[in-house]
Chains A and B, each alone.
Chain A
Amino acid sequence: MATEFHNLQELRHSASLANKVFLQRDYSEGTTCRFQTKFPSELESRIERTLFEDTVKTLNNYYAEAEKMGGQSYLEGCLACATAYLIFLCMETRYEKVLKKIGRYIQEQNEKIYAPRGLLITDPIERGMRVIEISIYEDRGSSGSCSGSSSTSGSSAR
């Protein structure tokens, strides 16, 4: 699955990159990780507003879950302190577990919703958790015929 997605990304590079939109952080509730849900005007013709807002809201919920101050995070903190934080050498922190879930969610959203519309979401962790980068690709209609034939011959050979 990871290989396939990586190839999907490489395939994306062959379509021409038209623009990139950057969704900024929303600091209204403090320094916890939250992104603005404002719908960028560049995406108006490419994707439905509700789908986009759903994606961003789900991501915000994931980050809120990761940074939640509650019983579990205090327990993890105190246990780690008691072991002089050596336990982090063998155990994954809750934040890291949620980041993996976020990675999988973004991959799934790209495959199901964004790639068919010529868009690609980059995981915020690759941009320092500062922005959600959405790459907008141009639709190349019928160009690249010789490569197109090699792809169909490849798929028919299977």
Chain B
Amino acid sequence: MSAVMITRKVRKWEKLPGKNTFCCDGRVMMARQKGVFYLTVFLIVGTCSLFFAFECPYLATHLSPAIPVFAIVLFLFVMAMLLRTSFSDPGVLPRALPEEATFIEMEIEAANGNVPAGQRPPPRIRNVQINGQIVKLKYCYTCKIFRPPRASHCSICDNCVDRFDHHCPWVGNCVGKRNYRYFYLFTLSLSLLTIYIFTFAIVHVVMRSVDSGFVKTLQDTPGTVLEVLVCFFTLWSVVGLTGFHSYLISLNQTTNEDIKGSWSGKNRLQNPYSHKNIVKNCCEVLCGPAYPSVLDRRGLTQDDVPVPASTTTQSNSVPQTTKTTAPLIPNEHTPDDAKSSIADSAIAHAEKISPSPKEEKPPTPAKVPPLASPETDVEASIIIAKEKAL
């Protein structure tokens, strides 16, 4: 009861549960394992550098200068889409706060009724009807919520993600509602880039061989061999992936649903989210509204740091915030017009006590003995407010 709690401001991303890593003070959000992502970046940048170094000078002069220009544009687009997919929030659902979790538990218990001792309680499932189809919503024990339709829990990132598609190690992030279109555009533009580089590398070798011979060409431009190899193996996987996702988009399905066979047609289960029209499905997935992140990563929150009572005099250097301490002016039984006056009086009262201009301070209660300095005044108010809260 006598410990002094100093509160300091931290960004909300520092306190988020889950296994994500954050960079740039919460602006960038990725999965924990990023090794394969670095490999992806290295392969793309490396292959394109070789292309610009070996093929482009020859092709620009012998064919057209538009070739390297288009390659640069395509390369920049691929990198932009990759970084956008990797760094953005895929649609993570925040975990339930304790009151919400308790409320849901009470609802579950009310729905299940009395379970006889020794019997396992029934699985926590909620049935909802979507467009005439019954869909089962599962309860997530980690996040303590009933997952919305199409959401799934990613075990690698330890988050529930809305419209979960899959966790992609190549981009180092989950692919979900918010970044699916960037992921698709990344695979599509990467396919185009790979085909482009492969084609022009072959064209370059053929054109140069006509002049100088095949072996001499390979000796002059050794990078070409590497490019052709990388592109050849990349082509099959990336073009295949693009084709697969194009199929999924036309049916408005996620990879997760496809793998589980949720809408495969057995038990007469049909996809309730599909508009039954390829164009409409594509428009919804690719040109739909840009959903905002519901994870407030860069918002400020309080972090209570307990400080032993003996070191209170040294704590002046610790930046203090006063948002947590409850002011002691009640607000009930007053109509609307009194509320603004109460708010104003709270601010005025606080400003009278402490001369610090930047922070809002709570008003001290009438019981506080007269104190010597403004700093200890504020600390004392924090102590007293905390003790009152207890």
Is there an interface contact between A95 and B343, defined as CB atoms closer than 8 Å?
no
Do the beta carbons of B349 and A25 come within 8 Å of each other? no
The 0/1 profile, CB within 8 Å of A marked 1, for residues 67-109 of chain B is 0000000001100110010000000011011011001100000
- The reply to whether B332 and A73 form a contact with Cβ atoms under 8 Å apart is no
* B345 touching A151, Cβ below 8 Å: yes
Q: Which residues of A contact B94 (CB under 8 A)?
A: 127-128
Are the C-beta atoms of A96 and B292 separated by less than 8 Å?
yes
Are A4 and B327 within 8 A (Cβ)? no
Instruction: With a 10 A CB-CB cut-off, give which of B94, B332, B340 has the most chain A CB atoms.
Output: B332
State A148–B288 Cα separation when bound (angstroms).
53
Taking CB atoms and an 8 Å cut-off, the chain B residues in 319-357 that contact chain A are 323, 326-333, 335-336, 338-349
- Neighbouring A residues of B366 by C-beta, 8 Å: 146-147, 150
- Report which of A8, A128, A133 forms a contact with B294, defined as CB distance below 8 A: A128
Question: Are A84 and B76 in contact (CB-based, < 8 A)?
Answer: yes
Of the residues A13, A67, A78, A154, contact of B289 by C-beta under 8 Å: A67
Chain B contacts for A99, CB-based, 8 A: 292
Contact of A84 among B81, B295, B344, B348 (CB under 8 A): B81
Query: Is A45 part of the binding interface, using a Cβ–Cβ cutoff of 8 Å?
Result: no
- Separation of A77 and B333 alpha carbons in the complex (Å): 50
Q: Contact: B327 with A155, CB < 8 Å?
A: no
Residues of A within 8 Å of B335, CB to CB, are: 116
Known: A73-B287, A130-B93. A8 touches B341 (CB 8 A): no
Residues of A within 8 A of B331 (CB): 8, 11-12, 14-15
User: Count the A-B residue pairs with Cβ separation under 8 angstroms: how many?
Assistant: 186
Task: For chain B, give the interface size range.
Answer: 35 or more
* In the complex, A74 has a CB within 8 A of chain B: yes
Instruction: Tell me if B346 and A7 are in contact (CB < 8 A).
Output: yes
Contact of B129 among A12, A28, A130 (CB under 8 A): A28
Q: Does A121 contact B (CB under 8 A)?
A: no
Contact across chains for A30 and B289 when beta carbons are under 8 A apart: no
Determine whether A115 belongs to the interface, using a CB cutoff of 8 Å to chain B: yes
Interface assignment of A48: CB less than 8 Å from any CB of chain B: no
Residues in A neighbouring B273, C-beta threshold 8 A = 30-31
Interchain CB contact under 8 A, A157 and B130: no
Instruction: Determine the distance from Cα of A137 to Cα of B333 in the docked complex, in whole angstroms.
Output: 12
Is A127 within 8 A of B100, CB to CB? yes
The contact of B182 among A11, A28, A29, A85, by CB within 8 Å, is A85
- Would A85 and B100 count as touching, CB distance under 8 A? no
Which chain B residues border A140 with CB–CB below 8 Å? 330, 332-333
B148 within 8 A of partner (CB): yes
The size bracket of the interface on A is 35 or more
Q: Dominant SS at the A interface?
A: helix
| Contact present for B130 and A158 (CB under 8 Å) | no
Q: Which residue of B is nearest A95, CB measured?
A: B289
Check if B93 sits within 8 Å of A155, measured CB to CB.
no
Contact B289 A94 (CB under 8 A): yes
Q: Which residue of A69, A86, A154 contacts B288 across the interface (Cβ within 8 Å)?
A: A69
Residue of A14, A80, A142, A143 contacting most chain B CB atoms (<10 Å): A14
> B363: CB under 8 A from chain A?
yes
Q: Which residues of the partner chain A approach B342 to less than 8 Å between Cβ atoms?
A: 11, 151, 155
Hey, what's the 0/1 contact readout for A1-21 against B, CB within 8 Å counting as 1? 001100110111111000011
Question: Considering the complex, which residues of chain B in the window 300-328 have a beta carbon less than 8 Å from any beta carbon of chain A?
Answer: 323, 326-328
Q: Is the pair A112, B288 in contact by a Cβ cutoff of 8 Å? A: no
Q: B104 contacts which chain A residues (CB < 8 A)?
A: 22
Residues of B within 8 A of A80 (CB): 290
The residues in B between 33 and 64 inclusive whose CB is less than 8 angstroms from any CB of A are none
A8 and B343 contact, Cβ closer than 8 Å, known pairs A31-B273, A144-B330 = yes
| Closest A residue by C-beta to B296 | A126
**Contact between B348 and A154, CB atoms less than 8 A apart:** yes
**B286 and A129 form a contact (CB under 8 A):** no
Verify if B26 is at the interface (C-beta below 8 Å from A): no
Asked whether B297 is an interface residue with its Cβ less than 8 Å from the other chain, the reply is: no
CB distance from B190 to the nearest CB of A (A): 14
A78 touches B336 (CB 8 A): no
Interface residue ranges, A against B (CB under 8 Å): 3-4, 7-8, 10-15, 20-22, 25, 27-31, 66-69, 73-74, 76-78, 80-81, 84-86, 88, 93-96, 99, 111-112, 115-116, 118, 125-131, 133, 137, 139-144, 146-148, 150-151, 154-155, 157-158
Can you add 7 more A-B contacts, CB < 8 Å, to A14-B330, A21-B103?
A27-B148, A69-B287, A76-B290, A88-B290, A128-B93, A144-B329, A155-B341
Task: Return the 9 tightest CB-CB contacts between A and B, nearest first.
Answer: A154-B345, A77-B287, A11-B331, A7-B343, A84-B80, A128-B94, A93-B290, A155-B341, A151-B329
A-B contact pairs, 19 of them (CB 8 A): A15-B331, A20-B99, A30-B130, A31-B149, A31-B163, A69-B284, A69-B287, A84-B81, A86-B80, A95-B292, A112-B336, A137-B332, A142-B333, A143-B330, A144-B330, A147-B328, A147-B330, A151-B346, A158-B344
